[in-house]
Amino acid sequence: MLALEVKPREANESADTLRKHGAVPAVFYGPKQAATAISVDARKLAHVWREAGETTIVTLKGVGEDKDTLIHDTQFHPVNGQLLHADFYVLEKGKKIKIKVPLEWTGVAPAEKAGHIVVKALHEIEIEVLPTELPHHLSVGLTKLVNVGDRITASEITLPPSATLIVHGEEIVASVTEFREEKVEITPPPETIITTEKPEEGAVPAKDGSASGVKEEKAEKKEKKEKKE
């Protein structure tokens, strides 16, 4: 477990004033704990946040009896990433809590080595567990994914002794699908025929743009002339 020294926050202390002095405004609360405003050293809080995330118990010290908490919510500056505010959820001793725990993938799937695709459908699952057995993450071994159609369900994940699944046991966590390469058909452009034949001198193009109409007209005139003769 991680510990963090905190101080009660005075009602007249603004959040900006605290931040200028290297502190972060925060609050803790719980089922049997009224919301209480506190301040925390910014560097220490940032260190604990990197270590704990939202799934590791953090013990708050300096405000009466020590309080086992989880970092329930955080706010960061959108530009510089500075931690601006934190909420701590106070746990009840001996009572289970519902929490979403991140999944950690281990090993390499033989199916992936064979060129198929491993689809990771879930990245966290919700469980109910005693605070003392709260895992930082849950491991999922991918080595059992050998063939197309193989899958891992939520019920196959190893949980702490006191934990029970909140999600359905048949919920698919990861599965294998066949890799299929799509063939792209390229249609060639239509051929363009270029003619170099020159029309007869003095020929006037026909309606279709060719000189054939002129030749037909000359032949017709010649035929009429021969008949007259």
Structure confidence at residue 150 (pLDDT): 96
d(CA 70, CA 11): 24
- Asked if residue 221 has pLDDT above 70, the reply is no
pLDDT > 90? residue 66: yes
99-124 pLDDT per residue, tens = 999 999 999 999 999 999 999 999 99
Architecture, CATH, for domain 97-177: Beta Complex (2.170)
- Position 12 scores a pLDDT of 82
Rounded to an integer, the average pLDDT of 59-73 is: 93
Q: Where are the domains of the chain?
A: 2-90, 97-177
Confidence grade of residue 5 (pLDDT, cut at 50, 70, 90): very high
What are the tens digits of pLDDT across the range 10-48? 878 889 999 999 999 999 999 889 999 999 999 999 999
Report pLDDT for 54: 87
pLDDT in tens, 128-154: 999 989 999 999 999 999 999 999 999
Do the beta carbons of residue 122 and residue 90 sit within 8 Å?
no
If one counts every other C-beta atom within 10 angstroms of the C-beta of residue 127, the result is: 24
**What is 97-146 written as a DSSP string?**
EEEEEEEEEES--HHHHTT-EEEE--SEEEEEE-GGG--S-EEEE-TT--
Higher pLDDT, 199 or 26: 26
Share of the chain above pLDDT 70, in %: 80
Return the CATH fold of 2-90.
Ribosomal Protein L25; Chain P (2.40.240)
Cα 42 from Cα 55, distance rounded (Å): 20
Q: What is the side-by-side strand order in the sheet with 117-120?
A: 117-120, 172-177, 151-153
Cβ burial, residue 87 (10 Å; 0-12/13-18/19+): middle
| pLDDT score recorded for residue 10 | 83
- In the predicted structure, residue 209 carries a pLDDT above the cut 60: no
Structure tokens at 103: 């999944």
Residues 165-179 have a mean pLDDT of: 95
Mean pLDDT of the chain: 86
